[in-house]
Amino acid sequence: MSQLKENQVIILAANSAAIKSVHENYFEYDEVKISNPAIKKIVSYVASTINNEIEATYGVIIDYEYVIFGTGHTPEKAGVVFFLASSQDSEKTLEIVHKARSLAIHIVQKLLPAGDLFQAQQPVTWLDKQKTEALDERQELFLTKWGSSKIPDGFSLLDTPESEPLLCVDSEFITPEKRATTSSPILGAGLADGFSYSRNEIYILTIQESLQKTGDIRKFKAAHPDLLKTISQASFENLPVRFTATRTTDTTSQKSTYTLDSLVIDKALLDTEGFELT
């Protein structure tokens, strides 16, 4: 793992000097021709996870290009360059690059078996508890889908094409542990408080609900796309709804998630105390 992976490298959040060096020594590489689908999955995951933080904080994104290093007919290395997509002042650029690079290393390290980590875990002290939990959730989703995927020949994370590797990755990610959970049904009623098609989420201000206190805005994952149509109508017409859902609780963290199983508009609730709409 300590040896540079010669054929596949990833340059992390390059600064302007590094970008100039890279552009002088690489060809653009057709993404479609990349023979290693695992690299494409990793690059997409790292980019989206970095930008989830960087774009929200700075209003800019870290972009990337597939490249071949070396100007000869026989390329020395194939890889990916991450770079700041828009110009910033030098101080802000340095801050963004530093955070993006350390976050990328942290993200990849968390995907590796503990025995493969010869380097200390990259700290990301600027992330608060909520953002750290969101990062863990993204990692779990990635590993659930791609855990134990083979990465032929591995790859290296670099600062510049000439630098020593920041991190070398062998050919496999960890397999996510199966978390013990408990599930319980919920019956309730409430008022539509919005929804997100892209996240497949529905928000309901609970007025009546079993097992839980009411008066809170509950976030649900929609079990079926038709539920989004129902909540859209309820939101537009300002109508109350009845629902059934499943609460799933991680027995270790005691964190609960909610899946909406059914949802109907119930105009009769307008005559019920607590549902007077203004």
Q: What is the pLDDT of residues 130-180, one digit of tens each?
A: 888 888 888 887 877 776 667 767 777 777 666 777 777 776 676 666 667
175 part of a folded domain: no
Please check whether residue 219 is in contact with residue 254, taking contact to mean a CB–CB distance below 8 angstroms: no
Q: Is the pLDDT of residue 1 over 80?
A: no
Residues 14 and 126 in one domain: yes
pTM of model > 0.75: no
Q: What is the pLDDT of residue 212?
A: 65
The answer to whether 100 and 50 are in contact (CB under 8 A) is yes
* 162 and 191 together in one domain: no
Predicted confidence at residue 199, as pLDDT, reads 73
pLDDT in tens, 191-244: 999 888 767 889 999 888 776 666 788 999 888 888 999 999 999 998 999 999
Report yes or no on 275 lying in a domain.
no
- What's the whole-number mean pLDDT along residues 77-84? 76
Q: Does the CA dihedral 51-53-56-61 come out positive or negative? A: negative
223 part of a folded domain: yes
Q: State whether 32 and 76 are in the same domain.
A: yes
The reported pLDDT for the residue numbered 203 is: 93
Residues 30 and 161 in one domain: yes
Domain total for the chain?
A: 2
Of 205, 139, 129, the closest CA to residue 173 belongs to: 139
Are both 57 and 108 inside the same structural domain? yes
Cross-strand bridge partners of residue 195 = 202
Boundary-marking domain end, from 140, 169, 198: 169
Indicate whether 142 and 232 sit together in one domain.
Answer: no
101 plus 191 within the same structural domain: no
Containing structural domain, residue 249: 181-265
Beta bridge partners of residue 205, listed in sequence order: 191, 217
Instruction: Give the containing element (helix H, strand E) for 21.
Output: helix 16-23
Q: Is residue 12 part of a domain?
A: yes
- Considering the domain architecture, whether residues 25 and 159 belong to the same structural domain is answered as yes
**Residue 26 clears pLDDT 80, i.e. is over it:** no
**Looking at the domain assignment, is residue 257 inside a domain?**
yes
| Distance separating the N- and C-terminal Cα atoms of the chain | 64
174 falls within a domain: no
Distance CA 225, CA 200 (A): 8
Residue 32 lies in a domain: yes
Which of 116, 139, 169 is the C-terminal boundary of a domain? 169
